[in-house]
Amino acid sequence: MRNLAARLGKRFVAFASGTGGTILLGAEALEALFAGRPRWGLFLQHILDIGWRSQLVVLVTGAFTGAVFAAQTFFQFNKVGMESAVGAIVSIAMCRELGPVLSGLMVAGRVGAAMSAEIGTMKVTEQIDALRAMGVNPVDYLVVPRALAMMISMPLLVAECIAVGILAGYFVGVDLLRIPGAYFVNNMLHFTSWTDVVTGCVKGLVFGVLIVFVACKQGLDAKDGAVGVGRATTEAVVVSSLIILIANFFLTMGLNIIFPVL
């Protein structure tokens, strides 16, 4: 029991320390954003890496998620004669939950790992110390451009995921499962409002901020050479994914109060 309590205590201390460090990094990045000069070249480069190059994985995820969700919804609703409601269910689910959460998880796996590995490699090879020696703030140079690029890219990626998921759901529902297209579209437009889209984009923005600061924090804390970089990369993906799932619950509860389902 004592060993178990000791291990749990160490895990809790590590979790609290990591959370506090990530919050402090976010505060330092916010301060550097207003105090330093914009690095537009790095910002555009990270827009390309984060936004443009993540489109394929996000679009494929959204398309097949919308398709399988439409199929499963039809198979269940068809039993009670409510197949015309498939369009509304797919649209709202993609906007409020499936689009932002799955996009966040995919981006965490692709971009979060890359950020952590890149910054971790710079840390263990003492490139970050070299930046400090030249009078360059590592947070201003490494974290702020990535954070800004993620804040721009993530809502757009979520919007693309939602749109492709709904289109795929329409194709499966109307062309494959023979749901009348007029009922599918009419119910979707009737029950889906702009607040559903805003909810998804807000979640995407929050998830993007969480991913970038967790990944950068893991990279900046990397040590012990290549082994440490690998460990930091793994922890960045795992922690980002868990935080997205946890944060999604609280965002769902809060945003449904602000933007109730109509």
Query: Domain range holding 191?
Result: 2-258
Residues listed for the chain: 262
Residue among 52, 55, 209 nearest 146 (CA): 209
Counted domains in the chain: 1
How many Å apart are CA 240 and CA 18, to the nearest integer?
A: 12
Q: 22 CB contacts (<8 Å, ≥6 apart)?
A: 213, 214, 217
Give this prediction's pTM.
0.90
Tokens 């990270």, residue located = 46
Judged by average pLDDT, the poorest of 24-33, 84-93, 113-122, 215-224 is 24-33
Q: Confidence band (pLDDT; 50, 70, 90) for 21?
A: confident
Decide if pLDDT at 111 tops 90. Answer: yes
CA nearest to 97, candidates 262, 245, 209: 245
Q: What's the first-to-final CA gap in the chain, in angstroms?
A: 51
- For residues 229 and 212, give the distance between their C-alpha atoms in angstroms, rounded to a whole number: 16
| pLDDT over threshold 90, residue 170 | yes
Tell me the residue type at 190. Answer: H
Q: Number of H helices and number of E strands within the chain? A: 12, 0
Is the pLDDT score of 19 beyond 90?
no
Confidence of residue 151 (pLDDT cuts 50, 70, 90): very high
Biggest CA–CA distance in the chain, Å, is 70
- Cα separation, 68 vs 172, whole angstroms: 8
